[in-house]
Structure 1
Amino acid sequence: MSLAFAGADNPPAAKPSPVEVTFENPAEFTDFTQSYSSKDYGQDGLMTQFREFLQERIAARLAPGQRVEIKFKNIDLAGDFEPWRGPRADDIRIVKEIYPPRASLDFRLLNADGSVAAEGHRDLSNLGFMTAIAFPQSDPLRWDKDLLSDWVRREFPAKKK
């Protein structure tokens, strides 16, 4: 009989998140075919950033046993590339008011017994994103995450203490 212990060689199994985030045809998303220069923000990096962000924000707002399924249909990141600025600027995302963050998604909130508590389609955008104070300032996805945070606060009210 062999016993396994958590440690450097045997990390504890990660508890599955009650928030499932998927991306439908991400190669066709407005901005997922173009990426920041950093390798962290390629298509896989962007999906990981959004998935982890939403899992962290929503899980704390759920009642025991509840689950959420989110399927992104499209994401248009704040800012855009302006290749006409020349070859030295063709991989620089220019952030201006005319390029607001947008997201299109479907979601389902499931109770512990599997019944649907809420579901729907949401088209999110923040036309005033440049006037908001989005933190952390060093995060290049701060406006996009701020858009999602606003939706999470509206859709999943905080649990009463």
Structure 2
Amino acid sequence: MKKICTVMLLAVVMTGPAYAGSARVSWQEPEKFTDIRPTNESKIGFQERVIKEFDRMFDDLAKKLPDGYVWDITVTDVDLAGDVRPFFTPMVSEVRVIRDLYWPRMSFRFDLKDEQGKTVASGNEDVKDMSFLMRLGVASGHNSFQYEEQMLRDWFSKQQKEKIFPVR
């Protein structure tokens, strides 16, 4: 896990100049998160996939920030939509059941800095989407975690609408 975080941090540091906002994401003890449980893949492989796809979500959101802005995020908990249940067949041992009772949730700290490095917004967030199954559309569809992606997009849009985060 430390290797993954180190590689991600180096990748962010070694990139060229920012032509839009950028995100730097760190993960605080993901093995202790409420729910990053796999169904049919290894626990470590699933955890790495979750981190990779969420990092991409945060990067996509950061591109909506003005040039030079840096969004530092520390993810402290994730509870994926649905619940993992046993499924007794020879090929599948567990399945994620998606019901409105098991909404997505995420906790994180953030600092948003402008191009001079001055903090323009910071906070601790507990984001959840209790109506995630009542939406007509889903987010980009580019990853496996569409409900969580839509939840983060909605939260980010609200930050920009309320002028907490600047618009590009």
Tell whether the structures are fold-level matches, with TM greater than 0.5: yes
Indicate the percent of aligned positions where both proteins have the same amino acid. 22
Give, in whole Å, the separation in 2 of the partners of 1:115 and 1:148. 24
Counterpart for residue 119 of structure 1: 122
TM, length-normalised to structure 2 = 0.75
Query: What is the 5 A alignment of 1:1-161?
Result: 14-15=15-16, 18-32=22-36, 34-38=37-41, 42-59=46-63, 61-83=64-86, 85-86=87-88, 90-132=93-135, 133-135=137-139, 139-157=143-161, 159=167
Name structure 1 gaps, 5 residues minimum. 1-12
Counterpart for residue 4 of structure 1: none
Name structure 2 gaps, 5 residues minimum. 1-13
- The answer to whether the Cα contact below 8 Å between 2:39 and 2:93 also exists between their aligned partners in 1 is no
| Structure 1 pair 54–80 and aligned structure 2 pair: CA distance change class (3 A) | same
SS at match of 1:92: strand
Asked which structure has the greater CA Rg, the reply is 1
Which AA in structure 2 matches 1:46?
V
Q: Alpha-carbon deviation of 1:38?
A: 4.8
If each structure's helix is expressed as a fraction of its own residues, which one has the higher value?
A: 2
Moved over 6 A (4+): none
Give, in whole Å, the separation in 2 of the partners of 1:138 and 1:53. 9
Give, in whole Å, the separation in 1 of the partners of 2:105 and 2:52. 18
TM, length-normalised to structure 1 = 0.78
Q: Alpha-carbon deviation of 1:82?
A: 1.7
Give, in whole Å, the separation in 2 of the partners of 1:30 and 1:19. 24
Q: How many aligned residue pairs are there?
A: 145
- The answer to whether the Cα contact below 8 Å between 1:58 and 1:152 also exists between their aligned partners in 2 is no
